[in-house]
Each structure stands twice: as C-alpha cells, then as structure tokens.
A and B are shown apart, each in its own frame.
Chain A
Amino acid sequence: MKLNLKIYRYKPGSEPHYDTFPVDVPETANVLDAIERAWDDLDRTIMFRHACHHASCGSCGLLVNDQEKLPCVTPVKDYGEGATLKIDPMRNMPVITDLAVDASPIYQRMALIGLPIIRDAETLRADGKEPLPEGLEAFRRFENCLECGLCLSACPVMATDPQFLGPLTLAAAERLLAEPRGVDIERIYRLVDDEHGVWRCHSSFECTEACPYEVYPGEAIMRLKRKVGLRKIKQFFGGA
C-alpha cells in the first residue's frame, strides 16, 4: 500500500518544516511501521519515539492528521491507498527533535499519584493457601493507563495552563480513591482539589476521544468531581 508521510521536522536552532516521504507498506501495517520504513529506507535522521510496537509502553504517541494516535496500533488501512498522512509531535510537550517530545510532563505528573499495580502472585506465597482463591483479581497487574500522554496532548486546558494536573493524573487519582490499597487518600484529595486540579477541567472530553486504552479519563474526572464535591459539601455541614 502506497502512502505519503508528511513528517514534522525540527532540529534545535532551525525553523520547523515538513518533509514528505513516499512509502510502500503491507496492507496490514500500522502507521508506526510506515514511519519506520521511511526512517530505514529514506532518511535515517528522522527521530521518533518507539519501543514495544504493541501499545504497551506508551512511548510512540503522536498526531496523525492532527489527531492523537498511538501509531503502533493505528492501521494504515484507516487512511486508504495513496493517502497523505500529516505526522506531528504531540501537543503541550517540549519538542526535542522531529517527532520526539520530552515526556517529562507525563511522568512527573503520574509520579504524584503512585504505583500502578495490584496484589502479588500466588506461587511464591509462603502461607500455603490455595492458589488464586479470590479469582482473577488476585493477580498483580498493570493499570490500563500506558502513560502515553495522548490525553495531555489533546486537552485544551493544557494549552493554556501548564500546571494543570491533566487527564491521566486525575484519572489515576480517581482510580486510587476507588481502591486506595493503603495509600494516604488525604494527600490525593489535597492534590486534586485545587485550581490546577479537578476543577480546571472544562469537560471537552477530548482526553476520552484520544485515549487508546479504555481509561476514559473524561468520565473518570467527572466521577472525581462528584467525589470531591460531595466531600466538600459534607465537610461544609460539619461531616467528616
């Protein structure tokens, strides 16, 4: 399948521009395969972030035709034979070079929340209990959020408030409050009940549209608003 990739190019100290690369990839390829083809065959100086190629590491996020995508799981078929795909780096993050952004806005935000895992495995449990007595949730498992930052890129509030906690952080906070696992929830409440926290969200739901992994941050933020709001009302009337 023939495609044209119109790729954003930026080297520090020079003006950004676009270079167009014609590539030929199999029908079953994803956009990341096409970018890699351009890199391999045409220009080894195209810099882009990628690692796992199966939507697990969250490193490859970028814009395809101005929409936030994980190119590793975005089929080229979606755009059709002969299409021109405009490829840009994510919004709201510093650009290191070309499509590679500085991901620290993502990870520094998520570090405020805490560990993304559930309980331990069973085989090594020393207490001799039956294996997996509580069913599947007894496994230690990653949360769905890949920390890819597509929601931070899509969020219109991020475009104007760099201190905004952002969709993924608020969604993670909501997840933690729903299942605290011994974490200090007061700290989480203090973090999100802030002008740069949950109240800054203006409900455009672009985060949910951008999310590649069913985290649905927009919906999570609404649940969080309810939680924090009800708590404040209770506190106003002297409740705990």
Chain B
Amino acid sequence: MSQKYHVIVIGAGSTGTATAHDLALRGLQLTVIERGEIASGTTGRNHCLLHSGGRYAVTDHEGAVECIDENLTLRQIMRDGLELNDGLFVAVDESDLAFKDTFLEGCASCGIPARDIPVKRALEIEPYLNPKILGAVQVPDGVFDPYRFCLSFLATAKKNGATVLPYHEVVGLLMSGQAVSGVKVLDHRTGKQYEIGADLVVNATGPWAGKIAAFANVDVPVLPTAGVMVSISKRLNQMVVNRLNKPHDGDIVVPQRMTSIIGTTSWKVDDMDAIHIPQEHVDKMIEFGEKMIPALRDNPIRGVMAVARPLIGKKSADEREVSRTFAGFDHAHDGVENFVTISGGKTTTARGMAEKISDIVCAKLGVSAPCRTREVVLESYRSYYNN
C-alpha cells in the first residue's frame, strides 16, 4: 500500500469494534469514536444470545446460515468472551410439537447441527424446565458477554495501531464540497469541541445511524425498535432455552452467570435515548417465559432493561417483518462521498457485517488487502486496558 489512509469509525458497539478490527488488520490507520463507555448502546443491553441460527432456520434461511457460520467462526477466534452451553428448543404445546419436523429440516438445510433429544434427557439436563414439555431439540447456541465481545475486537484493533476515543461525541461531519472529510467531536472529558480529519468515515451507530447521517443530509432507513428484557435473580437454565416455534415475543431464556434473561418484545420508538418500559411488556415476558420454565415467576426480578435495536426498513413497516439482516450504505449513491453507514444485524454476525463494510471501504479507498478476521485469533478483552 502506497498511502496510509485514515478512517474514522463512529460507534464502539459490536459493529463498530468489529469493523475497526477488520480495517486495522488490513493495515488502515483508524480512530474509533464513542460518545460514552464501550458497548454502552444497543450492544451492551443485549440478550447476549450467540445464535446458532436455529431461531431463524425456518423463517429466514439466509439469516440462519449467516448465524451458524459466524457462530462457528467466533468459537475459533474469541477465546474468552463466550459461554458455550448449547441451546434447547422446547415444544410446550401440540402446535410446537407439530413444528418440530419443519424445524429439524430447516436446521439441516442451513447447516445447523441440531439433535432431537428425548424429553427425559432434556429434563435431566434442565431440571427447571416445564415437566410437561413435549419435545426438545439441542442446537449449538451460546452466550456472549457483550462488553467483553467489544473489548476483544478493540484490543486487537489497538494492537494493530487503532486508537479509541471513548467519551467523545460526534456533533457534526466536516464537509468539503459533497464529500465528508472528517468529524467534529465534543470531548466530554473537557467539554471542548475539536475536529478530526479523515479520508473516510464509517457510521456504525446502530439505531442512531440516522442521526449521524443527517449531519450529511442523507437518509438512512433505520427503524429504531425497542425490546424489553427481564433478568431474574436466579440462573434457572444451563443452556439457552427457546420456544420450538416461529419467532415470537418472550420465547428465549438466556442464562448468563447467575441470571436467566427472558426476552424479548418489540415496539417502535422515536427517541433512542429515552425509552420508557411499559409494565405490560414485563408482565408478558414472565407470562411467556414461565410456559417454558415455570420457576421464572417464583424468583424475583433483578432488573429490567430495554434498548433500541436498529432494524433496516421503511419507517412504516411492521417491526417483526423487517429484516434482521444488516445493510451497508455507500452514501456516494446519495451524492455524498467518503461516507458509509452500516446498521442492522445481530451481535452474533458482527464480524460478517464488518467484513462486508470493510470490503466496501477498501474498494472506495483503493486498498486491496483481503479480510483476515476469520482466521486471526482475537486478543483477550483484558488487554484493551494494557497501556
């Protein structure tokens, strides 16, 4: 490479940090800007489910294939950010049971190793499961720690020369003509604003993507959609427990350390920063969750959280129908050069999203280095804090 480009990545969630890692590996010089703590947005308040793809095996073939591919890749590259406990899809009623064969076929066609296990076996592994379940399928779901997930990518990016600016908020984009030439940031540590120049700016701000894009007068069809999650004060399952049916509200119980987290619901929000949690959503979580694990109702709630997720689509669409897969936008199509947006997707597929957007970035900058994030083992999350 003859010239050293400088790329700015806005947002240190899963997408931004994975993109920073990818670009740093390709030899680009870059800076990650985050308005608060790492992973303090959508990624942090996550269900923490490392998808096997099972959830989408029947309804979204493409998404499911993406999930299992990334799931297996992350197992190889992320040494200390994952709990690999597998997942169970359990049939609670007859319609669930009728769905089982469709589900197994779906998994097979997506390459997801799923195994129909006897109910007795499932109850042995998971004593808190509803004893009346009618069937169970084991899949390679897992759990990740969202903060460590992002720190691992950033630690590796830092090792490859990237710099990270937390507590910096982007308050404007610098324009030269119809091209973005950098960002204007507010350093929250000092309260001072200053400018950082760049050859290209990547907008990886999830549901906030529209806000950043508006600085350049371009529109991003991101639909901020909130989801509520309820954390219970006891860990009631060892594996991820899913309802064996098409995706629905409150059909996943994710265990993590000493808690079980029920999720999730889905409603449209206008202000991503001021999400007020409707009590009926919390009640709904318990009601649906207890069908799979009755003890969820008997243990006190430890915390309730909600955050906006970036779903890609038009502003009027019904939320669950909108694609869960991500989208990358090269705003050259909107007449603004050197500015790309990546939004949507899932934390599980962050690496894959980063690969696609990094390919776009490199093509725009004329960099030919190939993506290496499939093979390169990430640094420990702790080394983000090495000086």
Contact = CB atoms under 8 A, between A and B. Distances in A.
Question: Are A and B close enough to touch in the complex, i.e. CB under 8 Å?
Answer: yes
Nearest to B192: A11
B147 A117 contact: no
A79 interface: no
Contact of B167 (A28, A47, A53): A47
A11 B382 CA distance: 26
A45 B274 contact: no
B369 interface: no
Interface string B235-253: 0001100000000000000
B303 A57 contact: no
A166 B383 CA distance: 18
A33 to B, nearest CB: 9
A123 B386 contact: no
B85 A52 contact: no
A23 interface: no
Interface in B282-317: 301-305
Contacts, number: 168
B341 interface: no
Nearest to B386: A108
A140 interface: yes
A117 B80 contact: yes
A56 B39 CA distance: 13
A212 to B, nearest CB: 10
Interface stretch (B135-143, B217-225, B353-361): B135-143
A197 B299 CA distance: 39
A142 B144 CA distance: 10
B241 to A, nearest CB: 14
Contact of A45 (B46, B146, B191): B191
Interface residues of B, number: 62
B135 to A, nearest CB: 16
Contacts of A12: 189-190
A117 B82 CA distance: 9
B372 interface: no
A141 to B, nearest CB: 5
Interface residues of A, number: 54
Do most interface residues of chain A lie in helix, strand or loop, or is the interface mixed? loop
B363 interface: no
Given A56-B259, A144-B258, A11 B191 contact: yes
Contact of A72 (B48, B140, B256, B303): B303
B273 A142 contact: no
A115 B148 CA distance: 12
A53 B303 contact: yes
Nearest to B142: A121
Interface in B13-50: 36-40, 43-46, 48
B385 interface: yes
B303 A51 contact: no
A132 interface: yes
A2 interface: no
B380 interface: yes
A16 to B, nearest CB: 13
A3 interface: no
Nearest to B381: A107
B273 A104 contact: no
Interface stretch (A84-92, A95-103, A156-164, A223-231): A95-103
Nearest to A116: B80
Contacts of A213: 257-258
A136 B80 CA distance: 20
A40 interface: yes
B259 A55 contact: yes
B141 to A, nearest CB: 9
A51 B385 contact: no
Contact of B86 (A26, A58, A123): A123
B113 A124 contact: yes
A43 to B, nearest CB: 11
Given A11-B189, A45-B191, A115 B79 contact: yes
B189 to A, nearest CB: 4
Contact of A110 (B72, B146, B382, B387): B382
A47 B82 CA distance: 28
27 contacts: A11-B189, A48-B36, A48-B37, A49-B40, A51-B44, A51-B147, A52-B39, A52-B305, A53-B305, A54-B302, A56-B145, A59-B37, A59-B38, A73-B302, A97-B188, A106-B385, A115-B79, A115-B80, A123-B139, A123-B140, A131-B115, A131-B117, A139-B85, A141-B238, A144-B257, A213-B258, A214-B258
Given A54-B303, A110-B382, 15 more contacts: A28-B301, A40-B273, A41-B274, A47-B189, A49-B37, A50-B36, A50-B37, A97-B188, A108-B382, A120-B84, A123-B138, A139-B83, A140-B82, A140-B83, A142-B83
Interface of B: 36-40, 43-46, 48, 72, 75, 79-80, 82-86, 113, 115, 117, 121, 125, 138-140, 142, 145-148, 167, 188-191, 229, 231, 238-239, 256-259, 261, 273-274, 277, 301-305, 380-387
